[in-house]
Amino acid sequence: MQSKDRFTAIVPALIVWGFAGALFGALFAGLHRILLVMGLTGWLPLVVATAAASMTTTAFYSAMPVALVGSMAGVLASIGYLIVIGHDIDLLMISGLAAGAGVVAGGFYSWMVAGGSRPLAETLTGLLTGLLAATLLSLALWLLGEPVGVFVLAAGLVALAGALFELSERWLVRLGIAWLPGVVSAPLVAGLVAAVVAGSIWILGSTTATVLDMRTQQAIAQVLHDIPPGLLGGMLGGSMTGIVLKIFGFRLEDEI
C-alpha cells in the first residue's frame, strides 16, 4: 500500500516537471540559437537564454493565471500585428507590441484580482536560479573543454535550475513579497510572457514567409532544428529532477 501511495504521489510530479522541463528546454534551445546567430559568443548566449527560459517557465509553473493572461495578450497582439503588417515580420516590433499588450492585460488582471507581488517574486526567483545554474554549467563546460549538444545542455540546465529553485524558493519569494511593489507584479510578468509568445509566433510565421533573405531563412532553420532536442532534454531533466525532489520529501504540489 505504501508503494502504491508513493507511486501515486510521484506521478503528478513526473508529469508537471516533465512539461515544465520541456517548456524550459524548448525556450532555451530556441533563444540560445537566436543569440548565436546574432553574433553573441562564449558564455553569454548560454546565460542569457537560460535566464529568459527560467523566468518564463517559473511564471507558468508558479504564477499560471498571470502567465495565461500574458499568453492570451501575446497571441492577440501578434495576430493583430500579422493582420495589419502582413508577412513583413519584425522580431523587435512584434515582441514589443505584445509586451505592451501584456502589461495592459496584466494591469487589468491586477485591478480585478488582488494578487500582490508573489507572481513577480516567483519569476525573479526563477531568474536568479537560472543565472546561477547557467554560471555553474558554463564553469563545468569550461573545465571539461568538450562541446556538448543541445539535448545535454537542456537536461543539465533544467535539472540544476529546478533543484536550485526548490531549495531557495521559500526564502527568496518571501523576501521578494516583502520588498517588491504588488501593483507592477502582474503587469511585468504578463508582459514578459506575452513577449516570449510573440517571439515564438515570429519564428513560426517566418518559416512561411517568402520575402526573407537566405541568411535569415537559414538562421530560422537552425533554430527549429535545435528546439526538438532541447525540448526532449528539458523534459528528461525536469522529470528526473521532479522524481528526485519528491523522493527527498519536497512538497512540489504546494508551488503548482
Cα 50 to Cα 18, 88, 214, 251, distances in angstroms: 17, 29, 28, 25
Task: Give residue-wise pLDDT tens across range 67-121.
Answer: 999 999 999 998 888 888 766 667 788 889 999 999 999 998 888 876 678 889 9
pLDDT of residue 256: 47
CA distance 141 to 104: 41
The amino acid that residue 131 corresponds to is L
Cell (9 digits) for 193:
510572457
CA distance 243 to 20: 13
DSSP 42-63: TTHHHHHHHHHHHHHHHHHHH-
- Name every residue whose Cβ is closer than 8 Å to that of residue 155 and which is 6 or more positions away in sequence: 25, 233, 234, 236, 237
pLDDT of residue 116: 76
Cα 57 to Cα 45, 50, 124, 213, distances in angstroms: 18, 10, 11, 32
pLDDT of residue 112: 83
Give the angle subtended at the CA of 45 by the CAs of 42 and 47, to the nearest 5°.
100
Intervals of the chain under pLDDT 70: 1-9, 86-89, 114-115, 204-217, 219, 249-256
The amino acid that residue 141 corresponds to is L
Cell (9 digits) for 88:
513583413
> What stretch of H or E contains 92?
helix 91-112
Any idea where the domains of the chain sit in the sequence?
A: 2-254
pTM of the model: 0.84
pLDDT of residue 131: 94
